[in-house]
Structure 1
Amino acid sequence: MNDWEPYAERLADGVAHPVSRWHAPLAATPRHLFVPNWWANNAGQWTLRNGSADREAWLSTVYANRTLVTRVGAVHADLATEPTASGLPTSSSTLPSLVLDLYRYAMIADDSHILVTTGSGYGTALACRRLQDRQVTSLDVDAHLVKTAAGRLDSIGLHPNMAVCDITGPLSGSYDRIIATVSLNPVPASCLSALRLGGRLVTTLAGTGLIITADKVADGGAVGRVEQERAGFMRTRHGEDYAPGLSERFTEIRDQEGEEITTGRYPVLNVREAWDVWSMLELTSPGIEHRFWEGADHLRTAWMVHADGSWARAQGVWSDSPTVHQGGPRRLWDALERVRNRLNTEGGLPLSGARVRIDPDGICHISRGAWSVTLGERA
């Protein structure tokens, strides 16, 4: 027995029932082969980790049910020449239980032909273990990721169809299932075009924690729902790195006095950790970026910025009402409080189980009861 196999068995036991069709693929796939190096985040600093430096620690890490970041900015962990990096994570090996969640939502049948996103290649390997190689197509916008994953898959006898491709652009072939482990918003019309009638798309909406499933219907669109589980994936990118974000704006407004200073109704919240609130805010007021800090004695500060120049800063201790500074053309904290007020008034937000309708051109309509939102408005 190889030394990694007991680790893989424990991972399989932890995330899949023994009778699940995914248990054997998990137990038989050497995840460490796909993650020889990774970036560890320590207080905002990315530090390179090399598996071969400590094999036992390597195996313990990669066979844990956790996401491992393999690319920061434009720097692959496999190619890094410096021990640290800065920027946003741009690729990873997703935690195995979440990969399985998406595959289960896809309702993959024995004869399904599926399209998946590549990343480290580990999720592709699991799909190949579950199906035949020829039934699996794996793509990524990053040529290095595709080449490296293909080589690692080949080394364990797996040979899926591999392609360097932007999932938001034209896709070749047709598929029964498309499973995107990158976030999409709006849903590309190309994904619907590549789905066979009755085929299922599974993805998360960028800027939210929402998993959506949608089955293609006769008019070329798709219908489905927002699933109960929550997940966070990196946004799809179209080049070496993401477009510049709003980091400089956070620096500008860090201690700035607002055009309007008020007392907030609700305590300071780490919005990105409150998944339903974060998701609802993105759907109703898209494009807001967030920062959060908690210091001594539970002093909390939250910052919000938007590309239109709007910003907000709220500071308060634990459950106390915060002091809120806001500026720009819109009041971002007020938008957040409207979402929180709805949550507190109604006991929940109309997200889980909401109906999803995607038009053939990718316009996405989400509704539950009297509430609805449309993403990707036509010009």
Structure 2
Amino acid sequence: MDWQTHAHHLATDVTRPESRWYAPLATTPRHAFVPRWWDNTDGAWQLCEGAADPETWLNAAYSNRTLVTRVAGTHADDTPPGTKVSTGLPTSSSTLPGLVVTMYRHAMITDTSDVLVTTGSGYGTALACRRLGDERVTSIDVDAELVEKASERLQAIGLHPQTAMCDITDTLPGEYDRIVSTVAVRPVPVSWLAALRPGGRLVTTLAGTGLIVTADKTEDGGATGRIELDAAGFMATRHGNDYPPGLDDAFDKARTADGETVTTGRYPVLYVPDAWDVWSMLALTVPDIEHRRMDTDGIRTVWLLHPDGSWARASGRWTDSPEVHQSGPRRLWDDLERIRHRLNHEGTLPVYGAHARIDPDGTLRLTRGKWSIAVT
């Protein structure tokens, strides 16, 4: 199997030959970390088996895309060929290589950095090992099965980083110059500040947003940095085999019910996750909103659902003003429209490029100009 040619093409696609990440990308067999994966087709997860179609396997593995390796508690490695899973959220993946490298670049890793990374499929760990030497890399995951699979595949290509089953939001297994998390957290765990050496840097994303946080440890035990201008979305941390149940019951209620208030929206229907800055700003303002959408005969309908029982439904054609139904303790569509009004008025939102300060007790505050918010 001529995977090397494909790996070189991937390296050229993601970076330049003079980059220190070019050789790791060009010499790491990504297909070895994703022998099977899940592909979402028509709303269902279809198992893809690499050995059954080597050409498709190589094209998928060496493309700059995320390959989902586990849905809910079902890992692709342990699933019979031909399996389909109709429901469930991704719980592990091989992140698109370009984003892995972006996160590592934000970490400003040096040749002598001791780095903590998150495991997943093990591919991102392999890239760090190729760049630094495996003695400088520690890779952790909350799931023992994932750690075992990744460790075996790393060893098969001659890499032996320290690996451990560990909840990244809890005590970490050492001290590090860099912590790079390709799972999203909220808030940034205090344990990271304890594990960072003086002057060390953390890089992560905030759960429920597209915001990359970089922060350098300060003498008082906190950290300061910024929200980077790049956008990224990662799976949130979990503490078991799957995420807690979503708001399907609330969705059933909100699907067609009349709202306590019915109004005409000011702006056309927006599926919020399609607009990263709006999505991130709303998630900071009102955490834990779930978003749903449906397009039928030129009419788009979106739902905003919140665990406190609040919901909003907006329906409309293209640029028409939508009919909006809202119920519950807060008016979610009104919250969204205030953000969209600010965007239209100012031409931008303050989230990207904001200053980030993490206090020693873990409190994260974002500020930009007169705007400020505490992230809890």
What TM-score, normalized to structure 1?
Answer: 0.98
Question: Aligned pair 1:102/2:103, yes or no?
Answer: yes
- Pairing of 1:157-176 with structure 2 (within 5 A): 157-176=158-177
Equivalences for 1:17-32 in 2 at 5 Å? 17-32=16-31
1:185, 1:206 within 8 Å by CA — same for their partners in 2? Answer: yes
- Tell me the residue number matched to 2:286: 285
Structure 1 outlier segments of 4+, above 4 Å: none
Q: Secondary structure at the match of 1:287?
A: coil
Distance 2:124 2:288 in 1: 29
The CA distance in 2 between the partners of 1:360 and 1:41, in whole Å, is 42
For 1:61, the equivalent position in structure 2 comes to 60
Partner of 1:343: 343
1: CA distance, partners of 2:4 / 2:248: 43
For residues 265-344 of structure 1, the aligned pairs below 5 Å read 265-297=266-298, 299-344=299-344
Give the % identical residues.
63
Partner of 1:129, secondary structure, is helix
CA-CA distance at 1:295 after TM superposition: 2.3
Gaps in structure 1 of 5+ consecutive residues: none
**Structure 1 position 266, deviation (Å):** 0.3
SS of equivalent residue, structure 1 residue 184:
coil
Q: Distance in 2 between matches of 1:287 and 1:309?
A: 12
Q: Deviations over 1:294-338 (max 9, x none)?
A: 2222x1100011011100000000000000000011100000000
CA contact (8 A) 1:188 1:361 kept: no
Distance (Å, rounded) in 2 between the aligned partners of 1:303 and 1:143: 36
Matches within 5 A, 1:188-203: 188-203=189-204
Tell me what 1:89 maps to.
90
CA distance in 2, matches of 1:42, 1:259: 37
The AA in structure 1 aligned to 2:273 is R
How many Å apart are 1:245 and its aligned residue?
A: 1.4
Alignment partners' CA distance in 1, 2:175 and 2:216: 14
One-letter amino acid of the counterpart of residue 212, structure 1 = V
1:237-258 Cα offsets, whole Å, 9 max, x none, are: 0111111111221122101111
Match of 1:71 in 2: 70
- Return the alpha-carbon distance in structure 1 between the equivalents of residues 14 and 71 of structure 2: 27
CA–CA distance in 1 between the matches of 2:42 and 2:254?
21
Instruction: Compute the displacement of 1:24 (Å).
Output: 0.5
Alignment-derived partner of residue 186 in structure 1: 187
SS at match of 1:326: strand
Distance in 2 of aligned mates of 1:21 and 1:173: 26
> Structure 1 residue 43: deviation in Å?
2.4
Give how far 1:80 is off.
1.6
Please say if residues 216 and 222 of structure 1, whose CA atoms lie closer than 8 Å, have aligned partners that are also in contact. Answer: yes
Give the deviation of 1:166 after TM superposition. 0.4
CA distance, structure 2, for counterparts of residue 375 and residue 184 of structure 1: 11
Q: Show the 5 A alignment for 1:243-254.
A: 243-254=244-255
Partners of 1:254 and 1:326 in 2: CA distance: 11
Q: Secondary structure, in 3 states, of the residue corresponding to 1:185?
A: coil
In structure 2, C-alpha distance between the alignment counterparts of 1:330 and 1:69, rounded to whole Å? 35
* In 1: Cα distance, 2:55 partner to 2:200 partner: 42
Give the letter aligned to residue 261 of structure 2.
E
SS in 1 for 2:184: strand
- C-alpha distance in 2 between matches for 1:259 and 1:206: 30
Alignment-mate amino acid for residue 47 of structure 2: L
SS in 1 for 2:88: coil
Q: Which amino acid aligns with 1:40?
A: D
| Corresponding position of 1:236 | 237
CA displacement at 1:353 relative to structure 2:
1.3
Q: Work out whether 1:11 is the aligned partner of 2:10.
A: yes
RMSD: 0.8
**What CA distance in whole angstroms lies between the structure 2 residues aligned with 1:296 and 1:360?**
53
Question: 1:147-158 maps to which residues of 2 (within 5 A)?
Answer: 147-158=148-159
Amino acid at match of 1:344: N
Tell me, in whole angstroms, the C-alpha distance in 1 between the residues paired with 2:207 and 2:361: 18
* DSSP-derived class of the 1:314 partner: strand
Q: For 1:135-150, list aligned pairs within 5 A.
A: 135-150=136-151
CA distance in 2 between counterparts of 1:211 and 1:217 reads 19
| 1:78 aligned counterpart, secondary structure | helix
- Structure 2: how far apart are the matches of 1:35 and 1:24? 20
Measured in 2, the distance between the counterparts of 1:263 and 1:59 equals 50
1:177-218 Cα shifts (integer Å, max 9, x gaps)? 000000010111001110011000000000000001000001
- 1:229 partner SS: strand
Aligned amino acid, residue 37 of structure 1: R
Paired residues for 1:348-363 under 5 Å? 348-363=348-363
Unaligned runs of 5+ in 2: none
Question: Match of 2:235, SS?
Answer: coil
Q: Give the count of matched residue pairs.
A: 374
Distance 1:111 1:204 in 2: 24
Name the SS for the 1:57 alignment partner.
helix
Residues 77-86 or 106-115, more deviating:
77-86
> Structure 1, residues 51-98: CA drift from partner, whole Å, max 9, x if none?
111001110111000001000001111012470122110000000000
> For 1:114 and 1:295, how far apart are their aligned partners in 2?
48
